[in-house]
């Protein structure tokens, strides 16, 4: 009966430590993935910045396409798309759910060229030079650029990267503290077993070896579970995230799997070693404290 109770207690301790380590490593992995992919996220943000070139109403389709071809030769511009007034009218009809052309008697919209620049050119000065070039074109009526967004994006992206990196460091320290706490609680429940092994003459290595192997197994299993949760979260997020996040580097995601398992093993075994050394040095009276 006592042996069954002890086995159930050890099994419960094993499972509880794995659950706590898995959750901690999963959160750490999420923040790590964000930091590692910050460069790609920043690149996608900048390259999805859209500049609208509104053409004059009298511009014919041939001139509009000529201007589009000219813009495509500019090394700063990543892509262009011509939206004709007819296409714009159809999109607006769907948004308004009514035919505004029948009501007005004519199509008031103009042809528009959407363009995106490469990441390295998504700053205020380069965008301003592109805007000046576009306005010099006789067929261009207006250039629409969200300059405030460009300024905020460039000024805050680096700050956000540093903040995220700092959060990962803090989270790593907190993770080590939480894992250490859960392991200490687990070993605390085995302190009398440790004392009994000492009393029958077991060597230091003989006592700590099963605990270290158990800790390594707990860390490895926790790392695998955390990696599985991280992979599942990434795959699920593909269904609802924007295009910006669909282009994350999956290589970094798969590198995280062995990293989390290794981190789990290292932190778990080191914390276990420190906790064991504490109880191996305690006097018999201190075991009841």
Domain segments of the chain: what residues?
2-42+153-288, 50-145
Structure tokens at 264: 């789990």
- Residues of the chain whose pLDDT is less than 50? 1-2, 5-6, 243-246
What is the model's pLDDT at position 263?
84
What distance in Å separates the CA atoms of residue 139 and residue 142, rounded to the nearest whole number?
Answer: 9
What is the model's pLDDT at position 100?
67
| Buried b / exposed e along 255-272 (16+ C-beta atoms within 10 A) | ebbebbbebbbebbbbbb
Beta bridge partners of 82: 113
What are the pLDDT digits (tens) for 40-82? 777 788 888 888 898 888 888 888 899 889 888 889 999 999 8
Cβ(76)–Cβ(139) under 8 Å? no
What is the model's pLDDT at position 33?
77
Structure tokens at 244: 């910006």
What is the model's pLDDT at position 16?
74
What is the model's pLDDT at position 115?
92
How long is the chain? 289
What distance in Å separates the CA atoms of residue 54 and residue 21, rounded to the nearest whole number?
Answer: 56
What distance in Å separates the CA atoms of residue 169 and residue 167, rounded to the nearest whole number?
Answer: 5
What is the model's pLDDT at position 189?
67
Average pLDDT, the chain: 77
pTM for this structure?
0.58
Question: 50-145 has which CATH code?
Answer: 3.30.70.3040
């Amino acid at each position: 009966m006592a042996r069954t109770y002890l086995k159930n207690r050890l099994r419960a301790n094993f499972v509880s430590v794995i659950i706590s380590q898995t959750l901690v490593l999963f959160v750490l992995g999420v923040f790590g993935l964000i930091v590692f992919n910050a460069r790609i996220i920043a690149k996608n943000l900048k390259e999805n910045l859209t500049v609208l070139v509104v053409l004059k109403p009298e511009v014919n389709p041939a001139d509009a396409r000529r201007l589009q071809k000219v813009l495509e030769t500019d090394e700063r511009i990543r892509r262009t798309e011509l939206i004709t007034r007819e296409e714009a009218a159809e999109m607006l009809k769907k948004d308004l759910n009514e035919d505004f052309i029948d009501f007005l008697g004519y199509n008031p919209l103009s042809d528009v060229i959407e363009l995106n620049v490469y990441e390295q050119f998504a700053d205020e000065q380069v965008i301003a030079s592109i805007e000046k070039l576009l306005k010099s074109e006789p067929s261009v009526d207006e250039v629409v650029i969200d300059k405030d967004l460009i300024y905020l994006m460039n000024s805050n992206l680096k700050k956000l990267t540093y903040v995220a990196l700092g959060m990962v460091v803090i989270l790593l320290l907190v993770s080590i503290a939480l894992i250490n706490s859960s392991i200490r609680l687990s070993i605390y429940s085995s302190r009398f077993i440790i004392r009994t092994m000492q009393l029958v003459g077991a060597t230091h290595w003989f006592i700590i070896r099963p605990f270290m192997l158990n800790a390594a197994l707990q860390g490895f299993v926790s790392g695998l579970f955390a990696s599985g949760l991280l992979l599942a979260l990434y795959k699920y997020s593909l269904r609802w995230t924007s295009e910006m996040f669909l282009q994350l580097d999956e290589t970094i995601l798969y590198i995280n799997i062995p990293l989390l398992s290794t981190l789990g093993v290292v932190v778990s075994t080191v914390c276990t070693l420190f906790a064991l050394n504490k109880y191996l040095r305690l006097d018999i009276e201190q075991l009841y404290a």
